[in-house]
Structure 1
Amino acid sequence: MKCIPLIGRFLFSMIFMYSSIAKFSDSYVYEAAVKGIPLSYILIPLVGIFELLGGLSILFGFMAKWGAWLIILVLLPVTFIMHNFWAVEDSIQHQLVLMTFMKNMSIVGGALMISYFGAGPYSIDAVKKQQIKA
Structure 2
Amino acid sequence: MTRPVDSGVIFIARLALAVLFLWGGVTKLLGYAGFVSYMQSKGVPVVQIAAPIAVAVETLGGLFLVLGFKIRPLGFILAVYTIATAVLGHDFWNITDPVMQHDMLIHFLKNVGIAGGFLLLCTTGAGRISIDGARAPRSGLGR
Post-superposition offset of 1:99: 1.0
Post-superposition offset of 1:9: 1.1
Post-superposition offset of 1:63: 0.7
Quote the residue 2:91 is aligned against: 84
- The ranges of structure 1 where at least 4 consecutive aligned residues each deviate by more than 4 angstroms after the TM superposition are none
Post-superposition offset of 1:45: 2.2
Structure 2 portions without partners, runs of 5+: none
Post-superposition offset of 1:118: 0.5
> Which of 25, 46, 57 is matched with 1:50 structurally?
57
Deviations 1:28-56 (A, max 9, x none): 21111011113323312211101222222
Quote the residue 1:21 is aligned against: 26
TM-score (norm 1): 0.89
Give the total of aligned pairs.
133
Structure 1 portions without partners, runs of 5+: none
State the alpha-carbon separation in 1 of the partners of residues 112 and 22 from structure 2. 18
Does the CA-based 8 Å contact 1:16-1:55 persist in structure 2?
yes
Report the residue type matching 1:43 in the other structure: A
Report the residue type matching 1:105 in the other structure: V
Post-superposition offset of 1:108: 0.2
Identity %: 26
TM-score (norm 2): 0.84
